[in-house]
Amino acid sequence: MRVLSGVQSNGKLHLGNYLGAMKQHIELQRENECFYFIANYHSLTTVQDAKLLRQLTVDVALDYLAFGLDPNKANLFRQSDIPEVTELAWILSTVTGKGLLERATSYKDKIAKEIAPSMGLFCYPVLMAADILIYKSDMVPVGKDQTQHVEMAADMAGHFNHAFGCEILKLPKLRLNEAHVVPGLDGQKMSKSYGNTINLFDPPKKVRKQIMGIKTDSTPVEDPKNPETCNVFAIYKLLANADEVAALDEKYRGGGMGYGEAKQQLFEVAERVLGPARERRGELEADTDYVEDVLNTAAGRARAVAGEVMAEVREVCGLMVGKGTHRG
């Protein structure tokens, strides 16, 4: 099965990114053909500093490799290394109704957060559809907040196929990540835009400080507490094993434990996950040639697939390309 997903290079990746996407991406590489792109085109809607964008793009690659992405099993590449994606995005835009884009809840949410309402932000779903459809993806693992975009990609594929009387573009199926929503320090969804994150590769002392700052209620130490409404426990159960979760659940309900103790346990289990990856990332940072080779090799594989799809798309659209013109 061919799996496709992407991650924006618009800031430091955090625990919500790991639990909401990265963990599943790495698990899926065991039995699937995986294409994972670093969405630097998408990131231009919020990052317009060339040096910063280049660094953030490398950072995403380092993060994925540090957590165990195997370049021999999964293709990790830069979105900008596949020019066919933007070509397909334009073609999709010619068969996509403006009303479909106006219904995008993500666009409305970002405007509400006072992000500039650029055409790039408005047309984000079209580019995302091209990302998905250019590889004839079977499955797209996403968080709950991205389900509409995958459904819109399927709509656009259907519009294209109907308009040109073909079945070239494959309608993708979404797969919801196990961790639908990872709470941040304030209880809202963990997000860079909310400033409520636990960053993956901050030093242990800083990670502990972030965890100790998680918002809790004012229940006294001696009283029982409800783990089902606690942000600390919500994150803990996504990181710990079943026995550990059951034991902490019992402590919550039995009383006599303060939230500080629960936060310390969360820090310890988080370090069990983050510590080895942090060490591996340090090694990778010292071998930039290796990281660049991983990205370039995967881009070559991805572009070979994208080139075949675009050749079919151009043919049914009647788009002629001169013999001396280099295309994928």
Q: Which of 325, 306, 308, 295 is nearest to 65 (CA)?
A: 295
Smallest CA-to-CA distance from 122 within 134, 109, 104 is with 104
12-18-22 Cα angle (round to 5): 105
* CA distances in angstroms from 313 to 23, 88, 104, 316, listed in the order given: 34, 8, 26, 5
Question: Within a 10 A sphere around the Cβ of 80, how many other Cβ atoms?
Answer: 18
Catalogue the active-site residues: 110, 189, 192
Dihedral (Cα; 211, 217, 223, 226), 10-degree rounding: -80
Residue 114 gets the label, from left (phi > 0), alpha (psi -120 to 50) or beta, of: left
